[in-house]
A and B are shown apart, each in its own frame.
Chain A
Amino acid sequence: MRDLNRLRAEAETLASELPEFSVLTRQQATAHPGGAPRQRAGHGEDFWQYRGRTPEDSANAIDWRRSATGDELFIREHELQTARQMEIWVDPSSGFDWTSIKGGLTKAEEARIILTALAYQFCAEGDRARVLGSGKGAFNAGQLIQKSLEAFDHPNHSDVPSIPERDSSIVVIASDFYSNMDDMARAISSAASDGASGMLLQICDPMEVEFPFSGRVKFRRPGSTLSRIFGRTEDLKDTYEARFKKRQDAVRALAARIGWGFETHILGNTRRPLAFRVMQDLAGAGAPR
């Protein structure tokens, strides 16, 4: 059974190490209207508050109807509305929930920790995050870590992220991109064309990167009964590395095509630099193209 407490502790540690994550600071001026109310004054459709006029306010801004009831001039403010919602998805395939390190976290667990910590920091500003494929609604910062970690284990997880047709959400997808590459590319491309921005995060096991085998080895994929014996695996290393690189390049190309970010993480490396890079990538995401 997955040790949720450990994941939670790791995620909280990582989150505490990250700076506040504000996609908004840059985007505010051109924020997308509609969507989530942000409970503060800004561009939006709903009334937020009246306030007294200050000399900086232009005359156009004066709400004359309200001002007419008295001697003071009032400005009518709207509640800020954004559609900022982070959608996070972790590959549910059994190959992803695997590690070669004894007692170590699997790739999927690593992905959950990173994504949850990112989402938590994202939501600190009041935004919301949702675990794709879980069927659960979006969480806000309050219980996000606990709830989203639970939500990852939801049985309705599909092999391919089903990104809702909803523009301007920020999607972070963590996978190893070994299988279902075509389906996944299709799903991601279509989401991107709908206006979603985001990140592709590839998480690999060191063994998958280094291919440290020699002699006769019977390879088997987790969740598959298919196995194959290779005679001299040390000779296979070059071929393997070429293929591994090719797949990585394919994913990177996909990300570049749709304007998303792409990062690679290897189990055992520290998460913080990666999380920073992801945050940087995401800070540029959602900008109108």
Chain B
Amino acid sequence: MSFALGPLLFLTPLALLALLGLPLLWFVLRATPPQPKDQTLPSFALFEDMEPVEETPDKTPWWIIALRMLVITLAIIGLSTPVWSPRQNAEDAVFDRDVLLIVDDGWTAAPNWSAIQNAALGTLGSIDRDLGVYVIGSTQTDLTDALADRLSPQNARGVVQAMRPNGWRPDYDTLAENLSDLETNSFDIVWVSDNQLGEGFAALSSQLTRIGNVDAIPVTGNDLVGITGVATSANGPILSLARSQDDTQLQLSITAYDDTGASLATARGAFEAGTSTTELRFDVPESIQTGMSWFRLNGQNSAGAVWQWDGAGRMRRVGLVGEGQTLQPLLSDAYYVRNALSPFATIVEGTLDELMNEELNVLILTDVGELSDTAEERLSAWVEDGGVLIRFAGPRMAAQSDDLLPVRLRRASRALDSALSWDTPQELTSFSETGPFARLTTTRDQVMIRRQVLAQPDPQLASRTWARLADGTPLVTSETLGRGRVTLFHVTAGPEWSDLPLAGVFVEMMRYATLPARELAAAGATTETSLAPRRWLSGFGDFVTPAANARPLQIEPGVIPRADAAHPAGLYQGGTLTLTLNAGAGWIPEAVTDWPNGVTVRSTGELSTTRLGGFFLTLALLLLLIDLIVSLLIAGRLRFGREAGVAIMLLCAGTVLPDHADAQNRTAREQSEPRDEVMQAALTLRFAYVITDDATANTKAEAGLRGLSMMLYRRTTVEPDEPIGLNLAEDPLNLFPFIMLVMPESGMALTEEESTALGQYLRNGGALLIDTTSGSGIGTQTDERLTNLLNGLDVPPLMQASEDHVLSRAFYLLDGFYGRYPGRPLWIESGAGTQRDERRGDGVSTLFITDADMASAWAVDEVGRPLYSVDGGNRNRELAFRTGINIVMYILTGNYKEDQVHLPALLERLGESDDDLPGRGRDQNRNPRDLTPGGDR
């Protein structure tokens, strides 16, 4: 069916027959000249008698015909499905049997996945369409479906394109076993490999060579790096890394994330040239360490580049053998241990028997002298299995002890501060540099030890000692036992014997003492433990939700679970145990260097083919577009002004140059730059008003603020400059302490941007005075306009400013709030003055709403003459100014006037004696006519 022309292969060669029609087309095209533009023109009458100046060509220019012929030729070639397959040795690479396409899709394939996919697709392209293809991912464990599905090469493309790398490594043994049913020499096999030598590689390759000719396409390219393990150190986790290629130096960084996916810390490191393993150390404080949940190797997108740090490293499950009820809980040892552990451990209390059934990291025994034989046996087994046992000494242990101790003890305690002793209490001075306490110091608090149990001298005593007293006697000793560890504090956990439980360093010591002996399954998994998958890692290292049919992970003793097809890398949770399976755990990178006999190794491009159909068709389409433009130009229907030309150039540039978007962003940013004059204006203190659509309201607001500023300037130390109008959406509101909004007659509504900006301003502590100017009306309790305006603004609950609110005496003593209309209520935030730390630190209201038309009362022209009449004449205007000054004072100074400090002075001025003091309600008795300024400013 196919027809080859050198390396060019036509899969539907019959379409090429259409090329024979080209000459015919030549004549057709020649005969149809381009249509001229049709134009009606009355003044054509002036031309009717005119001889033609120039003979119009009635033929299409030859190059247009050539262009169109080229378009059609390209289209025909495109439709004949050309395939570019530059095979060097075409004979032995031609498939004549059904093809078994094996694609490595473990996580080790992820870094090169697109290359692997392309190699597989390329191979499919060169398979004759009559042959069948079976696509097998090497991580598959059940091949029934795959082997039943005989696909055409075309359909197989879809299957390959849908493949994704998985979060585990392929098990070649299983695969080889599954393939063993196939007959000998029944297939041609193409193995697109990630070039990693997995387990059972030899088995698989021998199995494959038995089945048929094997063409292997190893795909390498991007570095394959994985995290193979994490060790804990006092400074933070240490991650072990491995990589598949070791020829060059490679810089790396690893980021640690917490449970929510926020990055916590980054560590850097490098592979030296020639080495394939390295370690990266985090040096982070403990508090950050505890938050770390998983690590990701930056720049690597495979499951192996993600390491989930299981819970044991951070939160410990500690068992505390309880003492039953005690009458003096504050003196009980358990109390101090519990408190010391609480920052970082989950504590389970119970009897020893109960605790042994729990899944614990750490077990703490306080002053248990001698365990029963069975208990000791169980405990010792538990420790050997990875448990951490911490014991505290005490009178009972001093009397007699069992063997589950790091050191042998003397049969007595040493009293350092008793009546019969010459010794003085000893201080805890040094920590062993090899132990986990190496980073701790005791400089912060002096820890005195009054009594302790003593270890028998032993050559190994020094190496087992973690902490010493000033005279060198061990205070904390520790010894590994099996995979676990036993630690002994030579003092009680309570304060009877020492200050240690009271010292801050005790918490730190407990933290390090409870560090688990980091072995997997340390948590004491039992046979019955069944863990449900919580999240999986995809092959690319992304967290995905486990499949619906995911099976729980059964833990068997002694078997370290590994990520496999049934249990991909991810997080598994049981009742008390959380287990993470990491894809890279235990991974030893080993590239395939020796392909077995019978396997033909081919380079990526060798078998691959490129389909050129799309390319040809696109080219034809492009040329067709060019032809269209040229035709229109010739017909005179396309008139390019300079702008059009520039636009087209820009369009082309825009599609090509990536920073076109940048340019757009830049323009947008420039547009949102605040106006220069506003920035200039903000250099001095000035009030601002909101520019509305209503010019009258704007004028009024400006004149009003000008008047108020003038009065403030004359009478107070607030010396504002000329007011400025602000556009809410665009200007930086935060630069102005006080913004006034005079509502236009017709009302106004805020756009979303405007209310966002205004809300932001109010939250940041700005002050907004809204004047609805409608105070003259009677019964204007509800104002539609105000509702419209405040719609979308985050308005706190409001209340009327009471007569004794600090607003009424911030500067002047006022008995009401005045504007053009006297005695109108002033609404402020209801929280203001009561809840001091809300919104604004001082409890100062940020929002003032009035309908008294204050702006009109304040309004003056440039030379200071009042602009509007005011109810009640000049006296009322004066009161309005005082109201305004009080509002500004309140805004600028907060509510310090509310301090009781000033109350006596105020009361004195009001004619009240110092004797019947304060009480906020009392000053209502003052004479409301007294309007002299508060003199204590």
Binding site for B on A (CB under 8 A): 95-96, 98, 107, 176, 178-179, 204-205, 207-208, 213-222, 226, 228-233, 235-236, 239-240, 243-244, 247
Contact = CB atoms under 8 A, between A and B. Distances in A.
B46 A247 contact: yes
B780 interface: no
Given A216-B636, A232-B54, A178 B34 contact: no
B915 interface: no
Contact of B53 (A179, A219, A222, A239): A239
A231 to B, nearest CB: 3
A216 B37 CA distance: 6
A179 B45 contact: yes
B47 interface: yes
A interface: dominant SS: mixed
Contacts of A235: 53-54
Contacts of A232: 54
Contacts of B45: 95, 178-179, 221
Nearest to B55: A231
B39 A222 contact: no
Nearest 4 CB-CB pairs, A to B? A215-B636, A95-B42, A231-B56, A216-B36
Interface string B33-66: 0101111111111111010111111000000000
B36 A217 contact: yes
Contacts of B44: 219-221, 228
Nearest to A218: B36
A220 B40 CA distance: 5
B48 to A, nearest CB: 7
A219 B633 CA distance: 18
B54 A219 contact: no
A232 B34 CA distance: 14
Contacts of A217: 36-39, 636
A222 B39 CA distance: 10
B634 interface: yes
B46 A244 contact: yes
Given A214-B639, A216-B34, A216-B36, A221 B42 contact: yes
B47 A178 contact: no
B660 interface: no
A215 B40 contact: no
A17 B40 CA distance: 34
Contacts of A98: 40, 42
Interface string B802-842: 00000000000000000000000000000000000000000
28 contacts: A178-B42, A178-B43, A205-B42, A208-B43, A213-B636, A215-B36, A215-B37, A215-B635, A215-B637, A216-B34, A217-B36, A217-B38, A218-B38, A219-B44, A220-B38, A220-B44, A221-B40, A221-B45, A221-B48, A222-B42, A226-B48, A228-B44, A229-B36, A230-B54, A231-B52, A231-B56, A233-B636, A236-B53
Contacts of B50: 239, 243
Contacts of A236: 53
B251 to A, nearest CB: 62
B36 to A, nearest CB: 4
Nearest to B638: A215
Nearest to B41: A219
Contacts of A240: 43, 46-47
B634 A215 contact: yes
Contacts of B55: 231
A95 B47 CA distance: 14
Given A216-B36, A216-B635, A221-B48, A231 B43 contact: no
Given A230-B52, A231-B56, A220 B46 contact: no
| Residue of A207, A220, A221 with most chain B CB atoms under a 10 A cut-off | A221
Contacts of A208: 41-43
Contact of B56 (A205, A226, A230): A230
A178 B42 CA distance: 8
Given A178-B46, A205-B43, A208-B43, 8 more contacts: A95-B45, A178-B43, A178-B45, A179-B45, A213-B39, A216-B56, A220-B38, A221-B41
A207 B46 contact: no
Contacts of A222: 40, 42
Nearest to A107: B42
A220 B41 contact: yes
A96 B53 CA distance: 27
Nearest to B52: A230
A213 B57 CA distance: 18
B166 to A, nearest CB: 63
Given A216-B34, A236-B53, A243 B47 contact: yes
Contacts of B57: 231
B539 to A, nearest CB: 60
Nearest to B36: A216
B156 to A, nearest CB: 54
A25 B634 CA distance: 61
Nearest to B34: A216
Contacts of A207: 41
Contacts of A247: 46
B622 to A, nearest CB: 24
Contact of B54 (A179, A205, A231, A244): A231
Nearest to A181: B45
Given A213-B636, A217-B636, A230-B56, A244 B38 contact: no
B197 to A, nearest CB: 71
B42 A219 contact: no
A214 B46 CA distance: 18
A145 to B, nearest CB: 27
A25 B45 CA distance: 42
Interface string B18-39: 0000000000000000101111
Nearest to B633: A215
A219 B636 CA distance: 13
| Residue of A96, A204, A218, A226 with most chain B CB atoms under a 10 A cut-off | A218
A96 B43 CA distance: 9
A244 to B, nearest CB: 6
A220 B34 contact: no
| Residue of A179, A226, A228, A230 with most chain B CB atoms under a 10 A cut-off | A230
Nearest to A178: B45
Given A98-B42, A231-B56, A219 B635 contact: no
Contacts of A243: 46-47, 50
A218 B48 CA distance: 13
Contacts of B47: 219, 228, 240, 243
A220 B39 contact: yes
